[in-house]
Amino acid sequence: MADHCDKITYLLRQGDNALILSQQLSKLCGKGPALEEDMALTNVALDLLGQTRMWLTYAGELEGRGRDEDQLAYHRDAHEMRCCLIVEQPNGNYADTMMRQFYFDTWHYFLMQGLARSSDQRIAEIAEKSIKEVTYHLRRSGDLIVRMGDGTPDSRAKTQSAANALWMYSGEMFNYDALDEAMVADGVAPAAAGLRADFLEHVAEIFAEATLAMPDPAAWMQQGGKQGRHSEHLGYILAEMQFLQRAYPGAEW
């Protein structure tokens, strides 16, 4: 059975995933390969930021220490962040950006479907509010993977390279620890096995259409982000994202 602190950490994991990926995408504002894509990237970043706010607000309320979503976002150090390693990987070229997004979106879509049936009403409501956005995110990223994979020889090579390089970070999302399992036992979260099966099926379908080779599902996977063990990239992300609040605590527009 999960305790109070377990649920807070679970909420932080969801909020931190959305927060860090939103920050990553916001760096690309004005740098998209086409005007439509530039606008789409920014909109996805804003969607994720809105979801971040809901997750972190609920975490702060349960914590009861007077920390709101802003304080949780801007006043925690890297080792206190609970995001998966995939969201902190560099933007790289556009194939890297979209493959990272596609892997995340596929997991995120099936997770939100599961969380919409959560025994925690507040979590179910957040998932219900997020599912429309997340559905669009998945449809968009999957479409772009197909277009790039089944495009020119250069775009296909870059997309395949991104698929292979980022695959090792995809498994952490399904690597449940004792906290995750406690959430499943309480009916708060969906089980990993079902999510993983749905993820692999959808990725295989999109990759087949994109003429991409799917990496080995049994390959070794990176892990540790959910427990606060991060890559060197997160420190740089937080340094940029948190600078204003760290330099001028309590600053407001």
- Asked whether residue 2 carries a pLDDT value surpassing 90, the answer given is no
Chain length of the chain: 253
Query: What is the reported pLDDT for 249?
Result: 87
Between 226 and 29, the more confident residue is 226
Tell me the CATH number at 229. 1.20.1260.10
Between 195 and 4, the more confident residue is 195
The answer to whether 249 and 193 have CB atoms below 8 angstroms apart is no
Range of the domain at 32: 4-247
The answer to whether 148 and 98 have CB atoms below 8 angstroms apart is yes
Q: Phi, psi at residue 135, to the nearest 5°?
A: -60, -45
Residue 237 lies in a domain: yes
- Tens of pLDDT along 12-26? 999 999 999 999 999
Residue 253 lies in a domain: no
- Tens of pLDDT along 170-188? 999 999 999 999 999 999 9
Residue 224 lies in a domain: yes
The number of distinct structural domains making up the chain is 1
State the SS3 of 138-203: HHHHHHHHHHHHCCCHHHHHHHHHHHHHHHCCCHHHHCCCHHHHHHHHCCCCCCHHHHHHHHHHHH
| CA-wise closest residue to 17 among 71, 79, 65, 81 | 81
Neighbouring residues of 249: CB distance < 8 A, sequence distance ≥ 6: none
**Mean pLDDT, rounded, for 91-116:** 98
Matching residue, tokens 């879509």: 109
- Asked whether residue 1 carries a pLDDT value surpassing 70, the answer given is no
CB atoms within 10 A of CB 234: 22
Residue 189 lies in a domain: yes
- Asked whether residue 253 carries a pLDDT value surpassing 80, the answer given is no
- Tens of pLDDT along 36-84? 888 899 999 999 999 999 999 999 999 999 999 999 999 999 999 999 9
Residue 223 lies in a domain: yes
- Asked whether residue 157 carries a pLDDT value surpassing 90, the answer given is yes
Residue 161 lies in a domain: yes
Q: Of the given ranges (3-7, 15-19, 162-166, 167-171), which has the lowest mean pLDDT?
A: 3-7
The answer to whether 117 and 126 have CB atoms below 8 angstroms apart is no
Q: Which residues of 1-11 are buried (b: 16+ CB within 10 A; e: fewer)?
A: ebeeebbbbbb
Query: What is the reported pLDDT for 116?
Result: 98
- Asked whether residue 125 carries a pLDDT value surpassing 80, the answer given is yes
Residue 135 lies in a domain: yes
Give the C-alpha separation, 138 to 143, whole Å. Answer: 8
Percentage of the chain modeled with pLDDT above 90: 91
Q: Phi, psi at residue 168, to the nearest 5°?
A: -65, -15
Written as one string, the DSSP assignment of 99-123 is HHHHHHHHHHHHHHHHHTT-SSHHH
Q: What is the mean pLDDT of the chain?
A: 96
Neighbouring residues of 219: CB distance < 8 A, sequence distance ≥ 6: 167, 168, 171
Residue 252 lies in a domain: no
